[in-house]
Amino acid sequence: MLSAQGTEKKVAVVTGGAEGLGAEIAHRLAREGFEIALLDLNGEGLESTAAAIRGAFPELRVLTIKADLADAALVSDAFAEVESHFGRVDALINTAGGSGTEPVHDIEDLAPEMWSQVLNANVTSAFLCSRMAVPLMRRNGFGRIVNFSSAVADGLAGPSGTVGARLPYAASKAAVIGLTKQLAKDLGSSGITVNAVSPGLILPEHGRVRRVFEALPEEAQAATCAAIPAGRTGTGAEIAAAVAYLVSPEAGFTSGCVLNVDGAA
Ligand SMILES: NC(=O)c1ccc[n+]([C@@H]2O[C@H](COP(=O)([O-])OP(=O)(O)OC[C@H]3O[C@@H](n4cnc5c(N)ncnc54)[C@H](O)[C@@H]3O)[C@@H](O)[C@H]2O)c1
C-alpha cells in the first residue's frame, strides 16, 4: 500500500496482538499492505504472531514490543521504538484488554484493585496508546484509530451472577465508547478518524475465548449459540474485515461510530 507521502508502506500498531483477535487483525492488515507493530504483555505470543506474519508476507517489517500498556512510561517507550523503527504510524488498533480472572458473586467482594486492573487494561491502555499515536498521525494529516468495546457495554450479553467478571468489564467497555466518540469529535478535521468495534461472542482461531468456550459442555455451547440471534458465534476474520474497512482511506467520513459485529446480539 502506498502512502499519501510517497512509496513508504503504511504502519499499523496492533495492541493485544499476541493472540486472539489482535493476532488475526494484524494478519489481515498485513494482507492489506501495512507494516505491523505488535504490542502486548505476552512475549511468547507476540513472537508467534510475528513469525506467522513474516512467513506469509516476507516483504513487510513486523516489530514486536512486550509491554504493559496500562503503564504510561512503558507506552511512551514503546511508541518511541515504533517511531524510530518505522518513522510513522497510520493506524492504531486498540485490541488489548480483557475481563480479569477472578469472578466474585457480590459487589461487596469486588476488590478495588480488580476494578482498576480491568479499567486500566481496557480503557487506560487505549487512552495512553492514542495519546502517543495521535502526534505521529498528525504529521501526515492521516490516521485511523479503532478501539474495542463489547456487546456487554449495552448490558445485552452478560449473564448475571459473576460480578467480578462482568461489572468492571461492562463499565470499561462503555467507557471505551465515550473515549471513541469524544476523541473523534476532538480530532475533527485532522484527517484522523476514531471508531470502535463492538463484538458479540467471537471465537478467534487461537486464543483465550476459544479455549474457554471449548471447555464448556456441548449443551452449554449449543445453548450459547442458540441465544445469539444469528445462531452462531462470530469469527476473528469477521472482526478483522470490519477493522480493515475502518482503517481504509475510503472510511474517512466514518468517525465516532460503534460498529456492532455481534450476530444481532
Ligand atoms: N472474543 C470476544 O468474544 C470478544 C467480545 C467482545 C469484546 N472483545 C474484546 O476484543 C478484544 C480482544 O479480545 P480477544 O478475544 O482477542 O481477547 P484475548 O484475551 O484473547 O486477547 C487480549 C490480549 O490483550 C493482552 N493484554 C491484556 N491486558 C494488557 C495490558 N495491560 N498490556 C498489554 N497487553 C494486554 C493480552 O495479553 C492478550 O494477548 C478485547 O478488548 C476484548 O475485551 C472480545
From the alpha carbon of 68, which atom of ligand 1 is closest? 32
**Nearest ligand 1 atom, CA 233:** 3
Once rounded to an integer, what is the mean pLDDT over residues 69-74? 98
Ligand 1 site-directed mutation target among 41, 152, 228, most atoms within 8 Å of CB: 41
Give the pLDDT score at 9: 97
- Whether residue 107 is predicted with pLDDT greater than 80 in this model: the reply is yes
pLDDT, residue 157, reads 47
The rounded distance, in Å, linking the Cα atoms of 88 and 120 is 26
For residue 164, the enclosing domain spans 2-261
Q: For 25-63, how does the pLDDT look when each residue is reduced to its tens digit (9 = 90+)?
A: 999 999 999 999 999 999 999 999 999 999 999 999 999
Count CB neighbours of 159 within 10 A: 9
Sign of the torsion angle spanned by Cα atoms 158, 160, 161, 167: positive
* pLDDT of 163: 57
Q: Is the distance from CB of 243 to CB of 254 less than 8 angstroms?
A: no
Active site annotation includes 245 = no
Band (pLDDT 50/70/90 cuts) for residue 167 is confident
Q: Is 20 near ligand 1, meaning CB less than 6 Å away?
A: yes
Neighbour-count burial for 184-208, b at 16+ CB within 10 Å, e otherwise? beebeeeebbbbbbbbbbbbbebbe
Residue 91 pLDDT more than 70?
yes
CA dist 44 and 30 (Å) reads 20
How many Å apart are CA 46 and CA 40, to the nearest integer?
7
Q: Which atom of ligand 1 is nearest to the CA of 69?
A: 32
Given ligand 1 and candidates 202, 233, 238, 262, which is best to mutate, with the most ligand atoms within 8 Å of its CB? 202
- Give the range among 161-165, 203-207, 233-237, 253-257 with minimum mean pLDDT: 161-165
* Distance from residue 124's CA to the centre of ligand 1 (Å): 14
- In 10 A of CB 123, how many CB atoms? 22
Q: What is the mean pLDDT of residues 159-172?
A: 72
In this predicted structure, what is the pLDDT of residue 159? 53
Residue among 169, 192, 239, 255 flagged as catalytic:
169
- Least confident range from 50-64, 100-114, 182-196, 233-247: namely 100-114
Q: Does the Cβ of 263 fall within 6 Å of ligand 1?
A: no
Minimum mean pLDDT among 125-129, 162-166, 195-199: which range? 162-166
Q: Select from 65, 95, 127, 128 the residue to mutate for testing ligand 1; criterion: most ligand atoms less than 8 Å from CB.
A: 95
The answer to whether the CB of 11 is under 6 A from ligand 1 is: no
Domain count, the chain: 1
- Does 142 have pLDDT greater than 70? yes
Query: Phi and psi of 230, rounded to 5°?
Result: -75, -10
- Specify the residue with its C-alpha closest to ligand 1, atom 38: 16
User: What confidence category does residue 166 fall into, taking pLDDT thresholds of 50, 70 and 90?
Assistant: confident
- What pLDDT does residue 152 have? 83
13 pLDDT band, cuts 50/70/90, is very high
Of the pLDDT bands very low, low, confident and very high (cuts 50, 70, 90), residue 3 is: very low
Q: Is 168 in the pocket of ligand 1 (CB under 6 A)?
A: no
Inter-residue contact 143 to 89 (CB < 8 Å):
yes
95: Cβ below 6 Å to ligand 1?
yes
Helical (H) or strand (E) element with 65 = strand 62-66
pLDDT at 7: 64
pLDDT tens, 184-210?
999 999 999 999 999 999 999 999 899
60, 36 contact by CB (below 8 A): yes
Residue 51 sits in a domain of what CATH number? 3.40.50.720
Grid coordinates representing 104 are 466474585
- Higher pLDDT pick, 20 / 212: 20
* Residue 155 burial (C-beta neighbours within 10 Å; 0-12, 13-18, 19+): exposed
Query: By percentage, how much of the chain surpasses pLDDT 90?
Result: 81
Separation between Cα atoms, residue 32 and residue 248, nearest integer Å: 9
Is residue 19 in contact with ligand 1, taking CB distance under 6 Å?
Answer: yes
The confidence score (pLDDT) of residue 2 equals 44
Rounded to the nearest integer, the mean pLDDT of the chain is: 92
